[in-house]
A and B are shown apart, each in its own frame.
Chain A
Amino acid sequence: MKVSLPGKQSPFFKGEINSLSSKTWRIVKCRTKAFLNALQIAVGITLVILIWQGLALTVNKNIIPPPWETLRLFWVEMFSANILFATWQTFSKVVLALLFTMIVGILLGLLLGLSDSLYEICRPIIMLIQAVPVISWLSLVIFAWGIGWKGPVYIASISLLPISILTTVSGVRNLDKNLLEMARVYRVTRQKILKDIYIGTLMPFIVAILDVSIGQAWKVILVTEYLCGGKGLGVEILMARMNIDFPRVWAVTLIAVSLGIIMEKSVKFVLWKISRRWMFV
């Protein structure tokens, strides 16, 4: 009769224990990592609030109000009809600017990426647009359209367009010529080549364009609303400043920042879901 000695296990049993423990270990490791991340974020936020409080105590309290006062106002303003309407106005402008930037930028980037001579012809114009400061566009826009939604959308779009075009050009130049040759040999349809090769190659670049553009679009729209907008969060900040209501300036800014972050995270999440079809995830 075979008797197993205490402390000695069959290799099968031992293996099972090992695999179980390694699985548990992986879960523990993941959860610890997530906990540490959350802790680090919490420490970061606490640090910001502490510095803020410190500044409120040392600098003029009217210019930098204490964090609790701003947060209280942030909570009240967030649900006021006025701010909700302004938020919708700003949000629509950001979406319009991003849509324009993505559609026009990617299409132009595709064209310029495919034709070297066209790229060389258009490069000075792109460089020029990239170098023109927002304030110069603003002067032109006020003369052209006056106060309203067109100015902020136009300025945000034109400021972001060069990034979108140049990133797409890099993506097109990154196309694997061998894959295109393979498709030619098998006479694959253009739609299939576009869907399976072009979009697949460009997907990381499209994600990168959005990554850079969302935050930038919010900032530019707020500034331009402040200077030439009819309605929106930028205008609300302007009104608060004119009324020397600094806590409100900070509260509206906080709303804009929070919305920017939420939008960025949501778009990235959706893009991640879509791009999984083309990426190794």
Chain B
Amino acid sequence: MENIPSMDVCLKVQGLNKSFGALPVLKDWDIELGKGERLVILGPSGCGKTTFLRILSGLEKPSGGVIDKDNLKIGFVFQEARLIPWRNVEHNIKFVDGQRDMKEILTRLKLTGFEHYLPFQLSGGMRQRVNLARALIIQPDLLILDEAFASLDLKIKMEIIEDIHQLWLDEHFSIISVTHDLKEAVLLADKIVISTARPSRLKRMIPVPPEIGRKIGSSVFLKMESDLVKMICED
């Protein structure tokens, strides 16, 4: 798997292995992520994509390999919002001790006016926005998206992806996301890596030219999508 020569490296993963008992999940994963670079991981269900994200965020220990992520501030957008049910939106965001201005983040994520709402009073899309706001309030160097939009309808998904894109343009944090949605992958990526089934290896790395990523529905965008389908089904 070739790597794109790029800017300053913010994360370097070498020979990463993970097994759960006798069950090998990740095998020799090598990933290099530049500062401000966006990486999307595609692969079959159960291949260990989420396990990789959990290792990065410190929730799991690797069985082998090296991860170089010195003092990296990580914001994690979970698949389910994981909000404290008895705390309102503002308190849920403040819970993670962010240094960023609360008002600004609420405005940018269209949450103004919902500060005092409890999670159960919000729609799924709004809850995911709070989930994202909580990740961004800490001013992360790396934003992790773990199938963050899987349960949202297309319109809301596109709106949130657009919001993330705008925030990324302004702040240039790095992003690693895991998804099964190819459109989402092309929209959110500078490069896409495809993993095999378990025990998973990274079999291919595809750079996404910026002009493709913003032209949803264009012929180049659609071609990229169909190429991805072929590559995923290659095994």
Contact = CB atoms under 8 A, between A and B. Distances in A.
Nearest to A281: B86
Contacts of A189: 97
Contacts of B87: 196, 200
Contacts of B95: 183, 186, 188, 192, 196
Nearest to B74: A185
Given A178-B78, A181-B59, A186 B86 contact: no
A123 to B, nearest CB: 29
B76 interface: yes
Contacts of B76: 182, 185-186
A265 interface: no
Interface residues of A, number: 19
Interface string B93-121: 00111000000000000000000001010
Given A200-B86, A280-B85, A188 B118 contact: no
B96 A196 contact: no
A186 B138 contact: yes
Interface string A167-182: 0000000000011011
Contacts of B21: none
A277 B88 CA distance: 10
A278 B86 contact: yes
A147 B70 CA distance: 67
Contacts of B78: 178, 182
Interface string A196-234: 110010010000000000000000000000000000000
A203 B84 CA distance: 14
Given A185-B74, A280-B120, A200 B84 contact: yes
Nearest to B98: A186
A197 B95 CA distance: 10
Given A178-B80, A192-B95, A196-B95, A185 B85 contact: no
Contacts of B84: 179, 196-197, 200
A185 to B, nearest CB: 5
Given A185-B74, A197-B84, A280 B97 contact: no
Nearest to A200: B86
A237 to B, nearest CB: 43
B82 A182 contact: yes
Interface in B129-182: 134, 138
B80 A184 contact: no
B5 interface: no
A130 B96 CA distance: 42
A178 B97 contact: no
A39 interface: no
A279 interface: yes
Nearest to B135: A186
The 9 closest A-B pairs by CB, nearest first: A186-B96, A182-B82, A278-B86, A200-B86, A185-B57, A185-B76, A178-B82, A196-B84, A279-B86
13 contacts: A183-B95, A184-B59, A185-B57, A185-B74, A185-B76, A186-B96, A186-B138, A188-B96, A192-B97, A196-B87, A200-B85, A278-B86, A279-B86
Interface of A: 178-179, 181-186, 188-189, 192, 196-197, 200, 203, 277-280
Interface of B: 57-59, 74, 76, 78, 80, 82, 84-87, 91, 95-97, 118, 120, 134, 138
